[in-house]
Structures are given as structure tokens and as C-alpha cells.
Amino acid sequence: MFSAIRKTSAWPLALQFAFTISLILVAFVLEFPLEEKGLGTPFTLFLTCVCLVTVLFGRRAGFLAVALSAPLSALFFRPVGSFQLTRAFDLIQIEFYVALAVGAVLVLDQVRCALAQASERNEKLEEESTQKTLQLREAAHRMANNFASLDALIRQRAMASKDPKIQLAFEQVHGGAELQQKVQVRERVGLERSLGKLWEIGQRQSGRSRLLQKLR
């Protein structure tokens, strides 16, 4: 969803407005025949379109949708197909729709911005976590190579010596190096898991806090 919103937000302004105008006109064309038969609910469909374009493009497209749909909604009142209103109650309904639609645009735009910022922050945290994990793996790999070189050197010296005591000492050192290598591997695995859990917790908390701040 966030990727789709980012893509539509990057559209040129003219293309955003063209899509908005087309959507409102399509809603009008679909709704007008029903309204002539007394089955239509123009405000519901128009308000849905206003919310959709606000989520996709932001408040400018949302306000444009409101500005287009408000006068078009007058055509649904009697006499149907005329911009002239014969009842004051019809005008009140249109004014109420405009107020509701403008409020929806403002709220949805704030939510949209908050979610976009939270998504960007989460992506940065994920990228940083990935980089740290790679660095830890590289360090562990280098350490494993060092232990392997040390182990090979210890074995070579042990095989070259004929003294049983020296061989025993080398074997003990070899066992200690091997044990240390296993400990390092376990610590690395545990650290990677801990970093993963911390990143998930931080991702959730940062997203919630930023969303709450925007809504306040």
C-alpha cells in the first residue's frame, strides 16, 4: 500500500488532477441514471472518490475533487439535471457534504503523511539493521579464519614435536581454541537474533508514536 502511495505521489501534478477529474466524472455518469429513478446516493459515491484521491495524491487533489463534486451534486436534486435549486434544504445538504468532505480531506492527508513518514523510517531502520548484521557476519568470518589459522599452526607444531608433554600442551591449546570458536559462533547467532527482535520492537514503537503525534 505504501509503495503504491509513493508511486502515485510521484506522478506529475497535471496527471494527478486529470485522474481526479476523470474519477469524479465517472462517478457522476454512473450515479446520474440511478438518481433519475430515485435510487441514487450521490454524496456517498462522491465522498468515496474524494477519500480515494486524497489517499493517493494528497490534499490538493482532494480539494479539487470536492470543488468538482459539490456543484455536480446539485444536478441530482429536483429539478434533476439543473443547477438551480428550488429548496433550501437541498442547499443545506450540499453545504453539509462540502464541510464533511473537506474535513475528510484534512484528516486523511494527515494520516497519509504520518504513515508515509513511518514507512520511510521503518525502511531506514531495516537498512541499518541489515548493514549491522552484515558487518557482524564479516567480523565473525574473519575471526573464524583467524581461529582456523591458529588451529592449523597448533596442529603443525604438535605434529613436529616428539615430546609427549609438549604434544599434550598443544592439544589442550587446540581444544581451547576450538571451544572459543564455538562460543564465538553462538554469541554471533544470539546477537543477530537479539538485533532482529530489537529492530522489530523499535519499528512498531516508532511507527505508532509518529502516527499518534501526527493525529494529535
pLDDT at 202: 58
Domain boundary among 115, 137, 167: 115
pLDDT at 204 over 90: no
One domain, residues 104 and 23: yes
Domain count, the chain: 2
pLDDT at 129 over 50: yes
pLDDT at 102: 96
Domain boundary among 66, 81, 115: 115
Q: How confident is the model at residue 84 (pLDDT cuts 50, 70, 90)?
A: confident
One domain, residues 43 and 136: no
pLDDT at 133: 76
Question: What is the residue range of 210's domain?
Answer: 121-215
One domain, residues 131 and 196: yes
Q: State mean pLDDT over 50-69.
A: 94
Percent pLDDT > 70 in the chain is 60
One domain, residues 102 and 164: no
pLDDT at 64 over 90: yes
d(CA 87, CA 18): 33
Q: State mean pLDDT over 83-110.
A: 89
Q: State mean pLDDT over 140-153.
A: 69
pLDDT at 182 over 60: no
Q: State mean pLDDT over 63-82.
A: 86
d(CA 206, CA 186): 30
One domain, residues 138 and 100: no
Domain boundary among 63, 91, 115: 115
Q: State mean pLDDT over 190-198.
A: 56
User: What string of H, E and C letters represents the secondary structure of the chain?
Assistant: CHHHHHHHHCCCHHHHHHHHHHHHHHHHHHHHHHHHCCCCCHHHHHHHHHHHHHHHHCHHHHHHHHHHHHHHHHHHCCCCCCCCCCCHHHHHHHHHHHHHHHHHHHHHHHHHHHHHHHHHHHHHHHHHHHHHHHHHHHHHHHHHHHHHHHHHHHHHHHHHCCCHHHHHHHHHHHHHHHHHHHHHHHHHHHHHHHHHHHHHHHHHHHHHHHHHHHHC
One domain, residues 18 and 105: yes
Of residues 19 and 116, more confidently modeled: 19
* The three three-digit cell numbers of residue 143, written as one number: 575471526
